[in-house]
């Protein structure tokens, strides 16, 4: 960051009074510009025994499969962001959203949040950010073609939890996201 988004003056990095870390501070209006993690919200859209996945049409990981998810917008709740992203990427409507997995990824300053959700109907198709959208049974999941470790881990948890018919909310850090064997 070089300039203040409020007054246009230059900013400098310093520790503001009462703080404990470097921040960008405007040299003119003294506005502190905080840089905080981005929140990614998405769904595990379910229809019977199947889960809806999207093949990415954008980078990063173009051509790989993912759960519908994306960055939360200002003015949204987590559930609203997850439902909106599902609509944007898969043109799919979901209901009965239940908080399911949370992943802390401090190395990229992101937090991923997935909800279990029920597809309202089978009227879905690829949105602008997807090349293809389809339902998968567990044994059909393209495990080696998943875009992100958070997606693979969420699906692993979902299918294991479905067998037990118990769906605890899971909060895991980066260490839990090992490559699939």
Structural domain contains residue 181 = no
CATH number, domain with residue 2: 2.20.70.10
**Domain check: are 23 and 75 in the same one?**
no
Tell me which residue of 88, 145, 147, 86 sits closest to 119, measured CA to CA. Answer: 86
Domain count, the chain: 2
Q: Can you give the residue range of the structural domain that contains 172?
A: 38-176
**Domain check: are 105 and 143 in the same one?**
yes
Overall residue count recorded for the chain in this entry: 181
155 contact partners, CB below 8 Å, separation of at least 6: 44, 51, 67, 141, 146
CATH number, domain with residue 170: 3.90.79.10
- And the tokens for 112? 């991923």
Task: Report the distance separating Cα 92 and Cα 45, nearest Å.
Answer: 9
- Residue 14: beta bridge partners? 23
For 88-130, what is each residue's pLDDT tens digit? 999 999 999 999 999 999 989 999 999 999 999 999 999 999 9
Phi, psi for residue 32 in degrees, rounded to 5: -90, 125
Task: Report the distance separating Cα 131 and Cα 139, nearest Å.
Answer: 22
**Domain check: are 62 and 149 in the same one?**
yes
Please compute the mean of the pLDDT values over residues 162-180 and round it to a whole number. Answer: 80
For 149-163, what is each residue's pLDDT tens digit? 999 999 999 999 999
In this prediction the pTM is 0.88
Task: Report the distance separating Cα 54 and Cα 79, nearest Å.
Answer: 19
């Amino acid at each position: 960051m070089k300039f203040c988004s409020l007054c246009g003056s230059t900013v400098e990095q310093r520790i503001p009074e009462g703080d404990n870390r470097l921040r960008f501070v405007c040299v003119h209006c003294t506005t502190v510009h905080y840089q905080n993690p981005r929140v990614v919200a998405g769904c595990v859209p379910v229809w019977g025994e199947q889960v809806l996945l999207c093949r990415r049409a954008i980078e990063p990981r173009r051509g790989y499969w993912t759960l519908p998810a994306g960055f939360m917008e200002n003015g949204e709740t987590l559930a609203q962001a997850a439902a909106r992203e599902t609509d944007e990427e898969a043109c799919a409507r979901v209901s009965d959203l239940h908080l399911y997995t949370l992943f802390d990824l401090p190395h990229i300053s992101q937090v991923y949040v997935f909800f279990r959700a029920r597809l309202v109907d089978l009227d879905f198709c690829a949105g602008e950010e997807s090349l293809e959208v389809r339902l998968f049974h567990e044994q059909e999941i393209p495990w080696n073609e998943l875009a992100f470790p958070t997606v693979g881990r969420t699906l692993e948890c979902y299918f294991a939890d479905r067998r037990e018919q118990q769906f605890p909310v899971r909060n895991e850090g980066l260490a839990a996201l090992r490559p699939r064997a």
